[in-house]
Amino acid sequence: MKPYLPTPLLAVLAALSAGPALADPAPPSTAPGIVIEAFGVHCNIESEGTQAAPGTESGFINLLSGTPEFTHRQQEVPARIGISFAVIAVPDRDIFDARLVTWKPGATQPEYWVSDMAAHEPSIQGFMFETPSELITGLWRLEAYEGDTQLYSVEFDVLPGDQLPGVTSDCNLLS
């Protein structure tokens, strides 16, 4: 007689041996008075300078020269040098000293910086992969806070660079 496992037990063992399931990104969430205008992968645009951001790994953030054009409005992002992803939120009121937070996979502390958000004006928070050390796959989360109140949260599933081959931030390739 061949050994066998009862079907329910076999299913449990198969599930356990597969390792932890990777979570899909949660749908974007907002507080009252905040609208998510766009999120996803966007065209790279020029930086018009930098702003000190001691709570970030680099110690600064790039200031964009305009509002980016989104090429792929999705939460899946390939981990490739040159890829940019972001969220654009529009508040219904002026918010001074909003804390913009970026959680990277496996991090015990987020990166953050402080910025004002103007009423009825787009506020951009994003990330561009510029160095190989930044190509971290898994769930990334971009959030903003007014004091202890979360204004928004958007998760991105950053996938290995060879996945999503048609997704790019180089808008010259899309024309």
**CATH code of the domain in which 118 resides:** 2.60.40.2390
Determine the structural domain holding residue 124 and report its residue range: 26-173
Sequential DSSP letters for 67-90: PPPEEE-SSEEE--TT-EEEEEEE
Would you give the distance in Å from CA 40 to the centre of its chain? 8
* Residue 13 falls inside a structural domain: no
Check whether 174 has a pLDDT greater than 70: no
Check whether 14 has a pLDDT greater than 70: no
Q: 171: which DSSP letter? A: G
Q: 134: which residues sit within 8 A by CB, 6+ positions away? A: 127
CA distance 105 to 69: 26
**Listed range (17-21, 106-110, 119-123, 128-132) with the worst mean pLDDT:** 17-21
* Residue 125 falls inside a structural domain: yes
Total domains, the chain: 1
CA distance 65 to 84: 15
* Residue 17 falls inside a structural domain: no
What pLDDT, on a 0 to 100 scale, did the predictor assign at position 18? 36
Per-residue confidence at 22, pLDDT binned at 50, 70, 90? Answer: low
* pLDDT tens column, 126-140: 999 999 999 999 999
* Residue 10 falls inside a structural domain: no
* pLDDT tens column, 26-74: 999 999 999 999 999 998 888 888 889 999 988 888 888 888 999 999 9
* Residue 19 falls inside a structural domain: no
* Residue 18 falls inside a structural domain: no
* Residue 8 falls inside a structural domain: no
* Residue 145 falls inside a structural domain: yes
